[in-house]
């Protein structure tokens, strides 16, 4: 056997061993450095997705309400899911459902023990696929802080701290939300504090907060293959848990309305399928949000 043949065979064996080791760790992205994952058919592949979760208001309290002119401007320029539903009450289990496809046994708003689960979730799937993730949490005392509450900040709206497979360092303060939107992770969750999220303050307060804090991102997303999702954890307990959900971005058909029934698990599956990820929990049996995209 020639020296050249031995050299190439040795390289092949090393490459194979590296691939197997990386795959076992859930980190393989190919020698080119990019993930082989591709979006599922029927959904786009945004460069950046920002999901904002507001609190405790029914569809009729926000959509077409004079108290929410900015959210309704996003609805007019984007897409409205007119039959969007939360999973349960109270708030906290819905956040776990949206993030991990399961309420993870959480039934109250009590402060849970950090890192109690290793179940798959949106962040762990993104990280395993070599993609980027972060949450931006208004009022969080410091990056990675697992405190239960601080002023108007409440951990009950931050499910990522419940998982051992999500680094606490990916939970950032809202002050760390970048002004250069091209540096955003591929998927981000934004959680306003208890006033800005409409829990303790008015719909108008939350609507103004969204315009002031994320309006520039929404405008940028429209021309930079990116997406803003505005949704709610649950309704006001008076409307069958029907909630507002609005999507806005370059690949969203302006003025579109879908009357298909969707829930938190469907939104999670759509976010996963946009990035070619596996499906966490009940997202495996959920459906993609379709009929609102430009292509």
Give the pairing type, strands 133-137 and 256-258. Answer: unpaired
SS3 letters across 40-72: CCCCCCCCEEEEEEECCCCHHHHCCCCCCHHHH
Q: For residues 260 and 267, give the distance between their C-alpha atoms in angstroms, rounded to a whole number.
A: 12
User: Which CATH superfamily includes the segment(s) 40-285?
Assistant: Alkaline Phosphatase, subunit A (3.40.720.10)
DSSP code of residue 234:
-
Residue labelled with tokens 């969007």: 84
Model pLDDT, residue 37 = 62
Dihedral sign for Cα atoms in the order 128, 176, 138, 143: positive
Spell out where the chain has E strands.
48-54, 79-81, 84-85, 133-137, 149-150, 153-154, 171-173, 187-191, 226-232, 242-243, 245-249, 256-258, 262-263
pLDDT in tens, 169-178: 999 999 999 9
The first and second tokens of residue 246, run together, are 């609005």
* ∠ CA 256-76-81, rounded to 5°: 45
Model pLDDT, residue 39 = 78
pLDDT in tens, 210-262: 999 999 999 999 999 999 999 999 999 999 999 999 999 999 999 999 999 99
Residues of the chain with pLDDT > 90: what percent?
86
Dihedral sign for Cα atoms in the order 233, 235, 237, 241: negative
Instruction: List, in sequence order, every residue forming a beta bridge with 45; answer none if it has no partner.
Output: none
DSSP code of residue 112:
P
- The list of the chain residues with pLDDT below 50 reads 1-35
- C-beta of residue 70 within 8 angstroms of C-beta of residue 243: no
Model pLDDT, residue 4 = 39
Model pLDDT, residue 154 = 97
The first and second tokens of residue 235, run together, are 């309704």
Residue labelled with tokens 């002031």: 212
Model pLDDT, residue 35 = 40
The CA–CA distances, whole Å, from 47 to 128, 210, 232 equal: 18, 21, 23
pTM: 0.88
């Amino acid at each position: 056997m020639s020296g050249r043949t031995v050299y190439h065979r040795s390289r092949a064996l090393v490459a194979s061993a590296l691939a197997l080791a990386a795959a076992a760790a859930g980190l393989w992205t190919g020698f080119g450095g990019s993930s082989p994952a591709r979006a599922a058919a029927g959904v786009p592949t945004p460069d950046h997705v920002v999901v904002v979760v507001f609190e405790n208001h029914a569809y009729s309290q926000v959509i077409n309400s004079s108290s929410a002119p900015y959210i309704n401007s996003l609805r007019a320029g984007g897409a409205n899911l007119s039959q969007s539903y939360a999973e349960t009450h109270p708030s906290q289990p819905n956040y776990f459902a949206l993030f991990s496809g399961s309420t993870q046994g959480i039934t109250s708003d009590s402060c849970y023990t950090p890192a109690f689960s290793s179940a798959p979730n949106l962040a762990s799937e993104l990280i395993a696929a070599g993609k980027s993730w972060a949450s931006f949490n208004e009022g969080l005392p410091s990056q990675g802080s697992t405190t239960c509450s601080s002023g108007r900040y409440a951990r009950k709206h931050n499910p990522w701290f419940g998982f051992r497979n999500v680094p606490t360092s990916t939970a950032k303060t809202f002050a760390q939300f970048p002004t250069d939107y091209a540096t955003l992770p591929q998927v981000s969750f934004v959680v306003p504090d208890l006033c800005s999220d409409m829990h303790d303050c008015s719909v108008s307060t939350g609507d103004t907060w969204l315009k002031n804090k994320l309006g520039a991102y929404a405008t940028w997303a429209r021309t930079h293959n990116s997406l803003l999702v505005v949704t709610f954890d649950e309704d006001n307990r008076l409307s069958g848990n029907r909630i507002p959900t609005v999507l806005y971005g370059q690949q969203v058909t302006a003025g579109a309305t879908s009357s298909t029934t969707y829930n938190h698990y469907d939104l999670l599956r759509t976010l996963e399928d946009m990035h070619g990820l596996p499906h966490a929990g009940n997202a495996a049996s959920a459906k993609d949000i379709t009929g609102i995209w430009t292509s």
